[in-house]
Amino acid sequence: MKVVFEYTHGMTREDSIYCPGCTHGIAHRLIMEALEEMQLLSETIGISPVGCSILAHRYMNVDMCEASHGRAPAIATGIKRVQPDCTVFTYQGDGDLASIGTGEIIHAAHRGEKFTTFFINNAIYGMTGGQMAPTTLIGQKTTTTPEGRSELLCGKPLRMAEMIATIEGAVFVERVSLDSPSSIFKAKKVIKKAIQIQQQKLGFGFVEILSTCPTNWGMAPIDAMAWLRTNMIPYFPLGNLKSPGETDASKSVKGRRNK
Amino acid sequence: MGRGLVKFDQERCKGCCLCVSVCPVKIIEMNTLKINSKGYHTADVLDIDQCIGCGNCAIICPDGAISVYIK
Amino acid sequence: MNEKVLMKGNEAFAEAAIRNDCKYYFGYPITPQNEIPEYMARELPKAGGVFVQAESELAAIHMAYGAAAAGGRVLISSSSPGIALMQEGFSFLCSAEMPCVIINVSRGGPGIGTILPGQADYYQATKGGGNGDYHLIVLAPASIQESIMLIGKAFELTDSYRNPVMILVDGMIGQMMEPVTMPARHSGTRVEKPWALTGTKGQRTHNVVKSVYLKAEELEAWNWHLLKKYDQIKTNEVRYETQDLENASIIFVAYGTTSRIVKEAMAMLADEGIKTGLIRPISLWPYPYEAFTEIPSSVTSVICVELSQGQMIDDVKIGLNGKLPVSYLGRFGGSVISAEEVVNEAKKRLGMI
């Protein structure tokens, strides 16, 4: 009997507290699968955020450090400087990285820190019950934008991958999605690529992973995947924004959207 | 007649239905007659002989509830 | 190795850390401690260490947390407003039991305040500005030489108790120059850290460094664990100096730079036949309450002298337990008290003026 799919040893067998259909389960697994396939599990240290995935350390079967809100890139900097031969990654949500943690992520990229950040963008704050995130879409209803996000009051959603791509120290920046098996397949390839670039010590790597939050979006998981496809991808276009050797972030939103 | 074989760990399943939506041969269904110890209706395979072993269900399952093999 | 060199406080602190095998420093510029990151930038790489200028004190404390979690021997430094930003990090370090030495070269506040010396971070250091029940071990040297000694002690204590240790000096000691002797480079045994994040290497289950315990029974048990450790520290790590307690009529309580000024005042009073004594806390946490049991019956009052509005005085009152009246004498806002002011206060207390 040939194995097509078995759950990776990179994940512990503990049942997760994530909601039914939450894409954290998929994102966690892809990263751990990639590390297992690259035989890096025993050399890896991960940093988990504050957010729904605060308990990621229970599910990811590698040395894990809990971070305070937004500070994961600073903690990863400290860890990577002490253990430069370990594979170090941060796993952060949209509040953690794009709100309270903007200073730390920009400076980690700016210094060209040789770790990889996986940014889970689901356009809402999950753990705290569905408030607006910096990536919440215009018109999207949340508990702090009950009439829908207004550009006048809250500004337009933040495109983190584009922002990070303008920083010289960030050598690999790509945005992927988890809305279908084929997207998930592509996302894993990109995750592996990012880890490879860390192995080559080329600089900072950033993978933005478009995700769902069925509970706080108020829809069934299947509908949430469709909503992501229809609403998030047009504003947060998928694709590579920067690869090693490229010095300018000329792969604009417009350019990629038109592909 | 498919060569695929899937195993569903009913206790890990949270009834999210994502696997149902991606099965190309439409052989996964939610079993509304029983619930697991977590209180969820779980995914069940209707006709395992039709399984082509594509792995879509396992790839999209957030909870590691599915294993897929080719006979 | 044993020759005396004239050194600026801040530079001596940095060199003392390097001599004690500190390998990682993360800092952000803030006056009056900038010589520490600058010295570390020059010298730490030469000693095989890593210097990172962080983008803020928020980042620096978290870099330190990460480095400590990965098994590194870490020093960070800042001054009062920067230390204010690090409070969250201290709470995390204490809960996660991460070793780290912190130097606060304190200045007048509140807010931006001034770059001149102050002792108004006593509450911040000893009563905690971060959330939850935790304690930093806080050591307050009164000279550059004592700072060098206490920095070495701090690295020992932080590793043996797995708790952060703060060296609380004021800007005066950081900026002054004194002749000092540096210890030889520490090449002793390092403490084993089986809990550190180093990658499992396929030889153990994965380590987790955390402070989250969502279930009440788990967090309460963790707090008991920390409490027992703090009780051990209170038993074993109290440090203080007393001077001329015998037959004294007034006892001063002062730490850091202020204690040196008080000693000068005591000499002036002694010249006039007025006997005064000093209790100089060296550990501010754990506080040397037991020192107050040594006060002789000749003493009629206690004067707590601080460069603040009066923060340590609370602990002096606890130590005295109502046995003697205690009054506050101080200057703040960057002003430093003079020996004459201390002399006058003592005379007032004795009804002489």
Query: What are the structural domain ranges in chain C?
Result: 4-236, 241-349
A36 touches chain C (CB under 8 A): no
Question: Which residue, among C247, C301, C19, C294, has the nearest Cα to C148 in the 3D structure?
Answer: C19
Per CATH, which fold does C4-236 belong to? Rossmann fold (3.40.50)
For residue A116, give the amino acid letter: T
Q: How far apart are CA A188 and CA A182, in angstroms?
A: 10
Q: How far apart are CA C170 and CA C332, in angstroms?
A: 12
β-partners of residue A60 are A11
Confirm if C199 and C169 have CB atoms less than 8 A apart. Answer: no
β-partners of residue A11 are A60
Question: Which residue, among A9, A86, A11, A6, has the nearest Cα to A45 in the 3D structure?
Answer: A86
Confirm if C58 and C86 have CB atoms less than 8 A apart. Answer: yes
Query: Percent of chain C scored above 70 by pLDDT?
Result: 99
Which comes out higher in pLDDT, residue C92 or A254?
A: C92
Q: What is the mean pLDDT of residues C111-139?
A: 96
For the entire predicted model, the pTM comes to 0.91
Residue C188 has pLDDT above 70, yes or no: no
> Residue B2: what pLDDT?
82
Q: Taking the CA of residue C226 as centre, how many other CA atoms within 13 Å lie in the half-sphere pointing to its CB?
A: 23
Q: Taking the CA of residue A78 as centre, how many other CA atoms within 13 Å lie in the half-sphere pointing to its CB?
A: 36
Indicate the burial class of A14 (C-beta count within 10 angstroms; 0-12, 13-18, 19 or more). Answer: exposed
Q: What is the pLDDT along chain A (259 residues), one digit of tens a residue?
A: 999 999 999 999 999 999 999 999 999 999 999 999 999 999 999 999 999 999 999 999 999 999 999 999 999 999 999 999 999 999 999 999 999 999 999 999 999 999 999 999 999 999 999 999 999 999 999 999 999 999 999 999 999 999 999 999 999 999 999 999 999 999 999 999 999 999 999 999 999 999 999 999 999 999 999 999 999 999 999 999 999 987 655 555 544 554 4
Q: What is the mean pLDDT of residues C304-325?
A: 97
The domains of chain B, with CATH numbers, are 4-70 (3.30.70.20)
Cα radius of gyration (chain B): 11
Q: What is the mean pLDDT of residues C290-305?
A: 97
> Residue A256: what pLDDT?
54
Work out the number of other CB atoms within 10 angstroms of the CB of residue A146.
7
* Residues of chain A neighbouring C54 (CB-CB closer than 8 A): 74, 107
Confirm if C57 and C77 have CB atoms less than 8 A apart. Answer: no
| Position C126 confidence tier, pLDDT thresholds 50, 70, 90 | very high
Q: Which is it for the CA torsion A54, A55, A60, A63, positive or negative?
A: positive
A222 vs B17: CB contact, 8 Å cut-off? Answer: yes
Per CATH, which fold does C241-349 belong to? Rossmann fold (3.40.50)
Q: How far apart are CA C328 and CA A206, in angstroms?
A: 56
Size of interface A-C (CB pairs under 8 A): 130
> Residue C190: what pLDDT?
78
Q: What is the DSSP letter of A229?
A: I
> Residue C23: what pLDDT?
96
What residues does each domain of chain A span?
Answer: 24-257
Q: How far apart are CA C77 and CA C51, in angstroms?
A: 12
| Position C128 confidence tier, pLDDT thresholds 50, 70, 90 | confident
Please report how the helices A72-82 and A102-110 are oriented relative to each other, as an axis angle in degrees rounded to 10.
40
Query: Cis (ω within 30 of 0) for the bond into A214?
Result: no
Best probe of the A interface among C85, C87, C206, by most A CBs < 10 A, is: C206
ipTM confidence: 0.96
CATH of domain A24-257: 3.40.50.970
From the list B21, B54, B69, which residue is nearest A3 (CB)?
B69
